[in-house]
């Protein structure tokens, strides 16, 4: 472990300090041993890429007691303007990882937005009209702050090691290459023989080699692991360019998202204005395809655009500092499969979206949330490899949903044909007067978590439930009735959770849940044949008074019981559970049940 007495970064570090900070090079004992004798160290989990996905995944696994090695080819956190909007679900996941509060304390909360056409405001909107959630719909926070708080948390975990300036240059899966399956569910601990993954690593002091049981590729949109495996991320590339300008200024804007279609200061294009911490404003100018990106990001080209925007927005120019300017293009694409042998892809390496909707970093953190508990249970020999297949299936589905939403937004913002523009303009025109048309205006459908309704880990309802909550959805937050705490805060541990809505049967249901988890799903479930170890899974039982918003959001009656996965997604629910029902649902949620 790096020998920091305390972490060099803190929650008080400035953006400048974080962006300029370089983690000191530290040679690992693995490299010494390799150089000395050719010894190859083994790690159960190697994560490549210390961005939002890789850091979140590493923390989650380390909190579960796993020994985690995180490699990064650089020695710095994010710099410049990248992700800026972090959604409610991401904050809830980060609460479980111990960093949600730091993010919210620094972040700018917002929920109001305005949409303009030309110089006229078409309408305003409120993202979270529903009270009774601990976390807001969104916070705006520069990605470097988010990464810094994650890195600080990571340094507190004794089984998590980060090696900076360690670049993976080759990756082999010898078992798969030899046509053999993985080491199997119950390979005895310490068994020698070929390891599933072999990684060649380059450092400032030369190369070394390690092996791993599993590798998580969180190495970004230009993923080198994806290339090393001969894989691609494919999809639609949009022929449009956008200029990002991050400007620091004292400006009397409210904390709102402002989106202009065809403003007089930037005709025929769109402009998006967002507030970030430290009086920094992020402005996205749509430029069209036929511009020179190197020209457009020069300060003397950017500054007049900002001045013109200010004259329109508040009637005069204000002095500002240009913190960052870049020109970007984007595509909506994903890998065909997020799982290749013992290598699992998460975050931008697996999928990419347009920025409208804040679905990039948010979906990356949801990937890691989905993957961590599954990797943990597979490594412990409690669940089969099929649980990792469910990671790929669930997050490929979520990626498709994000790509669909972000493609629709992009088609509205950047119409691709004259008739598409005609309808876009007709929609905007009607939105002035008519509420229905405002629902059609699409300047980004902001990130909400995927509801994994089609997942094989779900147990279909056998009882009737009203409302929008269904198996596969993340558990909604609510105030705990009669207590000054939040429901999701009671689901902070690493285990499966059982929510029992209080009633006369509460004690009996508790015994049912406890016995089902003590006895485990058993080898008789479905057609799964492999011998299972004795299962004695811990379970977090939460008794919820059957009243208030909590009962309403879960459509609960006394005795209603929800079984939640460790990532807080609903996997089963009953009005009156029995041990057999709970054991069967647990079997499904662990991917032990292979029946359709």
Partner 1 sequence: MTLITSPNLEAPDEFYEALIECHRGLSDEASHALNARLVLLLANQVGSLQILKQALRAARAGATEPLSPEHAPAGPR
Rank residues 156 and 429 by Cβ distance to partner 1 and give the closer one: 429
Rank residues 424 and 497 by Cβ distance to partner 1 and give the closer one: 424
Show contacts of 284-290: CB within 8 Å, 24+ apart. 284/242, 284/243, 284/244, 284/355, 285/242, 285/243, 285/245, 286/240, 286/241, 286/242, 286/413, 286/414, 287/240, 287/241, 287/242, 287/243, 287/327, 288/240, 288/241, 289/239, 289/240, 289/241
Q: Which stretch binds partner 1 (CB under 8 A): 327-335, 436-444, 470-478, 507-515?
A: 436-444
Show contacts of 575-580: CB within 8 Å, 24+ apart. 575/463, 576/463, 576/505, 577/509, 577/512, 577/513, 578/512, 579/512, 579/515, 579/516, 579/519
Q: Which of 246, 225, 272 is nearest to 53 (CA)?
A: 225
Rank residues 429 and 468 by Cβ distance to partner 1 and give the closer one: 429
Minimum distance between the CB of residue 435 and partner 1, rounded to whole angstroms?
9
Rank residues 4 and 423 by Cβ distance to partner 1 and give the closer one: 423
Token digits of residue 187 = 């390979």
Tell the residue number behind the tokens 């996997």, with chain if given.
571
Rank residues 120 and 290 by Cβ distance to partner 1 and give the closer one: 120
Minimum distance between the CB of residue 426 and partner 1, rounded to whole angstroms?
4
Q: Which stretch binds partner 1 (CB under 8 A): 30-38, 429-437, 489-497, 577-585?
A: 429-437
Q: Which helix (H) or strand (E) segment is 96 a member of?
A: helix 88-96
3-state secondary structure of 477: coil
Rank residues 1 and 426 by Cβ distance to partner 1 and give the closer one: 426
Among 436, 484, 524, 534, interactor with partner 1 by CB under 8 A: 436
- Going by the DSSP 8-state scheme, the letter that residue 82 receives in this structure is -
Among 437, 448, 470, 576, interactor with partner 1 by CB under 8 A: 437
Q: How far apart are CA 156 and CA 60, in angstroms?
A: 12
Minimum distance between the CB of residue 278 and partner 1, rounded to whole angstroms?
42
Residue 454 binds to partner 1 (criterion: CB under 8 A): no
Rank residues 237 and 462 by Cβ distance to partner 1 and give the closer one: 237
Residue 442 binds to partner 1 (criterion: CB under 8 A): no
Minimum distance between the CB of residue 22 and partner 1, rounded to whole angstroms?
51
- For residue 177, the tally of other CB atoms under 10 A from its CB is 10
Token digits of residue 530 = 């492999």
* Residues touching partner 1, count (CB under 8 A): 11
Rank residues 170 and 426 by Cβ distance to partner 1 and give the closer one: 426
Residue 529 binds to partner 1 (criterion: CB under 8 A): no
Minimum distance between the CB of residue 430 and partner 1, rounded to whole angstroms?
6
Minimum distance between the CB of residue 237 and partner 1, rounded to whole angstroms?
17
Rank residues 36 and 419 by Cβ distance to partner 1 and give the closer one: 419
Tell the residue number behind the tokens 């380059």, with chain if given.
202
Among 322, 430, 473, 576, interactor with partner 1 by CB under 8 A: 430
Minimum distance between the CB of residue 595 and partner 1, rounded to whole angstroms?
33
Q: Which of 116, 125, 109, 112 is nearest to 313 (CA)?
A: 116
Q: Are 359 and 338 in contact (CB under 8 A)?
A: no
Q: How far apart are CA 193 and CA 184, in angstroms?
A: 13
Residue 432 binds to partner 1 (criterion: CB under 8 A): no
Residue 236 binds to partner 1 (criterion: CB under 8 A): no
Minimum distance between the CB of residue 436 and partner 1, rounded to whole angstroms?
4
Residue 440 binds to partner 1 (criterion: CB under 8 A): yes
Rank residues 75 and 440 by Cβ distance to partner 1 and give the closer one: 440
- Going by the DSSP 8-state scheme, the letter that residue 143 receives in this structure is H
Minimum distance between the CB of residue 113 and partner 1, rounded to whole angstroms?
22
Among 298, 434, 511, 518, interactor with partner 1 by CB under 8 A: 434
Minimum distance between the CB of residue 233 and partner 1, rounded to whole angstroms?
24
For partner 1, the binding residues in 305-344 under the rule CB under 8 A are none
Minimum distance between the CB of residue 432 and partner 1, rounded to whole angstroms?
11
Rank residues 433 and 463 by Cβ distance to partner 1 and give the closer one: 433
Minimum distance between the CB of residue 427 and partner 1, rounded to whole angstroms?
6
Report phi then psi at 342, rounded to 5: -100, 20
Kindly give, in sequence order, each residue whose CB lies less than 8 Å from that of residue 440, ignoring residues fewer than 6 positions away: 427, 431
Q: Are strands 108-110 and 138-140 parallel, antiparallel or unpaired?
A: antiparallel
Residue 185 binds to partner 1 (criterion: CB under 8 A): no
CA distances, 196 to each of 91, 133, 380 (Å): 34, 43, 16
Minimum distance between the CB of residue 560 and partner 1, rounded to whole angstroms?
33
Token digits of residue 167 = 């670049």
Kindly give, in sequence order, each residue whose CB lies less than 8 Å from that of residue 231, ignoring residues fewer than 6 positions away: 335, 336, 340
Rank residues 386 and 413 by Cβ distance to partner 1 and give the closer one: 413
Q: Which of 376, 445, 458, 448 is nearest to 413 (CA)?
A: 445
Q: How far apart are CA 429 and CA 422, in angstroms?
A: 10
Q: How far apart are CA 52 and CA 107, in angstroms?
A: 16
- Going by the DSSP 8-state scheme, the letter that residue 353 receives in this structure is -
Residue 429 binds to partner 1 (criterion: CB under 8 A): yes
Rank residues 282 and 424 by Cβ distance to partner 1 and give the closer one: 424
Token digits of residue 287 = 């430029």
For partner 1, the binding residues in 399-428 under the rule CB under 8 A are 422-423, 425-427
Residues that bind partner 1 (CB under 8 A): 422-423, 425-427, 429-430, 434, 436-437, 440
């Amino acid at each position: 472990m790096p020998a920091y007495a305390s972490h060099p970064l803190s929650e008080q570090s400035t953006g400048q300090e974080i962006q300029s900070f370089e983690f000191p090079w530290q040679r690992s004992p693995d490299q010494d041993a390799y150089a000395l004798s050719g010894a190859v160290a083994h790690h159960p989990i190697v994560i490549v890429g210390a961005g939002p996905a890789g850091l979140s995944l590493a923390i989650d696994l380390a909190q579960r007691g796993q020994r985690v090695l995180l490699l990064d080819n650089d020695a710095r956190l994010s710099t410049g303007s990248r992700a800026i909007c972090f959604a409610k679900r991401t904050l809830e996941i980060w609460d479980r990882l111990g960093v949600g509060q730091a993010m919210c304390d620094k972040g700018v909360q917002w929920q109001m937005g305005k949409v303009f056409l030309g110089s006229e405001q078409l309408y305003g909107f409120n993202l979270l009209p529903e009270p009774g959630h601990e976390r807001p719909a969104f916070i705006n926070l520069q990605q470097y702050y988010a990464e810094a708080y994650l890195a600080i948390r990571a340094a507190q975990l004794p089984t998590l090691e980060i090696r900076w300036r360690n670049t993976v240059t080759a990756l082999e899966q010898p078992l798969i290459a030899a046509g053999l399956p993985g080491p199997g569910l119950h390979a005895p601990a310490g068994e020698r023989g070929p390891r599933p993954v072999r990684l060649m690593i380059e450092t400032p002091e030369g190369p070394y080699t390690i092996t791993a049981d599993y590798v998580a590729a969180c190495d970004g949109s230009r993923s080198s692991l994806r290339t090393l495996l001969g894989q691609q991320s494919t999809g639609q590339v949009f022929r449009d360019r956008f200029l990002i300008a991050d400007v620091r200024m004292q400006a009397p804007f409210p904390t709102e998202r402002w989106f202009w279609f065809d403003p007089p200061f930037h005709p025929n294009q769109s402009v998006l204005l967002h507030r970030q911490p430290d009086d920094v404003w992020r402005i996205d100018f749509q430029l069209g395809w036929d511009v020179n990106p190197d020209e457009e990001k020069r300060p003397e080209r950017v500054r007049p655009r900002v001045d013109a925007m200010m004259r329109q927005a508040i009637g005069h120019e204000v002095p500002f500092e240009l913190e960052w300017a870049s020109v970007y293009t984007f595509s909506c694409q994903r890998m065909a499969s997020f799982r290749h042998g013992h290598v699992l892809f998460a975050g931008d390496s697996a999928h990419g979206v347009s920025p409208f909707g804040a679905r990039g970093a948010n979906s990356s953190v949801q990937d890691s949330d989905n993957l961590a508990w599954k990797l943990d249970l597979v490594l412990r020999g409690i669940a089969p490899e099929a649980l990792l297949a469910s990671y790929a299936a669930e997050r490929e589905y979520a990626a498709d949903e994000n790509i669909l939403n972000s493609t629709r937004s992009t088609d509205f913002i950047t119409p691709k044909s004259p008739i598409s523009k005609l309808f876009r303009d007709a929609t905007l025109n009607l939105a002035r007067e008519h509420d229905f048309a405002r629902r059609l205006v699409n300047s980004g459908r902001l990130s909400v978590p995927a509801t994994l309704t089609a997942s094989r880990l779900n147990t279909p309802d056998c009882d009737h439930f009203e409302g929008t909550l269904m198996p596969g959805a993340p558990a909604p937050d609510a105030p705990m009735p009669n207590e000054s705490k939040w429901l999701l805060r009671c689901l902070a541990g690493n285990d499966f959770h059982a929510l029992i809505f209080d009633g006369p049967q509460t004690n009996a249901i508790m015994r049912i849940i406890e016995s089902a988890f003590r006895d485990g799903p058993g080898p008789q479930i479905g057609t799964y044949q492999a011998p299972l170890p004795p299962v004695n899974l811990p379970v977090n039982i939460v008794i919820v008074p059957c009243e208030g918003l909590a009962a309403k959001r879960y459509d609960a009656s006394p005795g209603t019981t929800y079984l939640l996965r460790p990532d807080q997604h609903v996997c089963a629910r009953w009005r009156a559970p029995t041990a057999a029902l709970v054991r069967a649902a647990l079997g499904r949620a662990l991917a032990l049940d292979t029946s359709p």
